[in-house]
Copies of this chain bind each other. A is one copy, B any other.
Amino acid sequence: MGPTDEWFHGQLKELSEDECLELLASKQVGRLVYVDQDGPLAVPVNYVLDGGTVLFRTSPHTSLGRYARSGAALEVDEIDDYTQSGWSVLLRGPAEFVDPDDLPASSERRPTPWPEGVRTLHLRIRPLSVTGRRLLPG
């Protein structure tokens, strides 16, 4: 790779936690990252923010329900292939089961999974860290 290629490369800029939470609030879908018996994996989930935490739902029979309590993360991003720029936010922390009584009172503030099926298990991530980066166009 020559110097010419380098000219087109974008700069990475760390985001503040406030910026990260604002970006998380601007989206509905992220990737839930966890580890099952075969190693690390990520699956799309739609989520809602509840205070500084993230709420989502799954089926009690998924590996997500079984394994995400040991350690998890939510990755959310928006990337433009054409300008090769965008941002990503990573919220890390174990997922915990949520008692239905502890859900937000308003149904609009509760997660409603997009796929059909019985997804009665509510999970919450209380983040241990929230970090993010913006990739500026080159």
Instruction: Kindly state whether residue A128 has any CB partner on chain B within 8 Å.
Output: yes
**Interface size bucket, A side?**
35 or more
Q: A33-B33, A81-B28, A81-B29 are in contact. Are A116 and B71 (CB under 8 A)?
A: no
Instruction: Kindly state whether residue A6 has any CB partner on chain B within 8 Å.
Output: yes
> How many copies of this protein are present in the complex?
2
A76 to chain B minimum Cβ distance, whole angstroms, is 10
A128 to B38, CA, bound (A): 10
Instruction: Kindly state whether residue A52 has any CB partner on chain B within 8 Å.
Output: no
Whether A114 and B29, one on each chain, are in contact in the complex, defined by CB atoms closer than 8 angstroms, is no
Nearest-neighbor residue (CB-CB) of A120 within chain B = B1
A85 to B29, CA, bound (A): 11
